[in-house]
Structure 1
Amino acid sequence: MLDAKVTPLIKPLLKPIVLFLNVRNVTPDQVTVFGFVFGLLAAPFIILNWFGVALVCIAINRICDGIDGELARHQNCSSSAGGYLDICLDFLFYAAIPLAFGIANPADWGAPALVLLATFIGTGSSFLAFAIAAEKFQIDRPQFTNKSFYYMQGLTEGSETILVFVAFCVWPIYFPILAYVFAGACLITVVTRIAGGYRTLKQHEQSELIKKDVSHG
């Protein structure tokens, strides 16, 4: 929900870093992997209850996630392979954070962590499944023209997820409440994405059939 509004505000702030990395021949994929490694490091720190350090790792991961795409566009080397790597590592990172909280305190945090992970599977699968179909029908998304894949919006997107991760680390005692609330929001995203995606694809399929009938007529 917030990604389309937040992204234009962040891009200018990343420009100096992008220029710095470009001069040193750093590739976007290297930034992606570097950010992913730091993101995963948050998990053991959460398990150790070192939430401040975990928060720093999460912040570095998100900064790198913004830099890699901007660097790719600056170097004119945006690719489907890079986009694929980025989204796969993003979803692994997203799953690692609630998993770490569940491991840190199985008795109190295990159940909400599992519920949140289940809804993450729903948001991720509905997001990626539609992206495949959108590529087939060449459906455009004006708000995210620079993305290497179709970016399907929803109530819970990357920005909201990171805000919740920050809240987890700042107020870990409230993890169960925050996790259940965000899981509910993710569930709404899943339902609306599936319903909206189904309607959109049905419309495009019908349009394709009409075009074929006209061409054969």
Structure 2
Amino acid sequence: MKASKHFQKRLQYYWIEKIYTELAVFFFPVLDKTPITPNMITVLNMINGLCTFYAVWTKQYALAAVLIQVYLFLDIVDGNLARYKNMTSELGKNLDTVCDIVFYNLFFILLGVSIQIHWIWIILYEIIFNLYGWTATNIIVPRIRKLKEFKRRGLKKYLFDHGILLGMETGMQDVLTTILLFTPYKHWIFYSIIILYCLDLLYRFYELRYNEALELNSY
């Protein structure tokens, strides 16, 4: 099977995604010579997810923190490996999506119960996390694609021009979770993630409306 040199799905990445993607690249020539498939990596990550659930439920927070980063790394590897080995498929895409949905929803339910945070914060996380994903996928991104040009400003533009996306996403969420799991301030995992998703969603709508107004006024 011929490997694809152009496996990256886009030119810009979120910073932690960029680091792990560049790290993963070193393994691809070796993996390309093995029968290991991207779906195998996804299944391996599902098993890792179960181990992460067990670690957080049994209050082994340091282990859970490490396994979260393993999850993030493998989540980046499977999609990029699929493009590298020309093995992209609808099954693989759906498997990866289901894996992420189950992991990020169930992990934070278990974490909330484990650290004994008030149940309202668990529910708020579940609502905000899923609402953010649905809104970005079904409203914001489709409207951006209708624009002839999308202008970013300030720090977002500077970083974008240097290949880095600035915003809240699962990678940033994983980094915050990993760091705070090593501290006595585990409740702040929920507080910070909820606040950042809300702020980012509001800014993305502002940014979208700004660009739509620019295009409308250009006619």
Q: TM-score, normalised by structure 2?
A: 0.70
Which aligned pairs between 1:136-155 and structure 2 lie closer than 5 A?
155=167
Q: Is the 8 A contact 1:45 1:54 kept in 2?
A: yes
Counterparts of 2:32 and 2:77, CA distance in 1: 11
CA change 1:50–1:189 in 2 (3 A) is same
Superposition pairs of residues 163-202 of structure 1, within 5 angstroms: 163-171=175-183, 173-196=184-207
CA distance in 2, matches of 1:44, 1:117: 20
Q: Are 2:136 and 1:124 equivalent residues in the alignment?
A: no
Q: Percent identity?
A: 17
Alignment of 1:14-163 (within 5 A): 14-106=24-116, 108-130=117-139, 133=142, 155-163=167-175
Q: Output the aligned Cα RMSD.
A: 3.3
Which runs of no fewer than 5 residues in structure 1 stay unpaired?
142-152, 211-217
Higher helix proportion (structure 1 or 2): 1
Amino acid at match of 1:161: Q
How much does 1:135 deviate? 10
In the superposition, relative to structure 1, how do residues 13 and 27 fare at CA in structure 2: closer, same or farther (>3 Å)?
same
Q: CA-to-partner distance for each residue in 1:27-58, whole Å, 9 max, x for gaps?
A: 11221221133123212211110112212321
Change (3 A) 1:5 1:61: closer
TM-score by length of 1: 0.71
Structure scoring higher RCO (CA < 8 A, sep ≥ 6) equals 2
Q: Where in structure 1 do 4 or more consecutive aligned residues deviate above 4 Å?
A: 134-141, 194-204
Corresponding residue pairs, total: 192
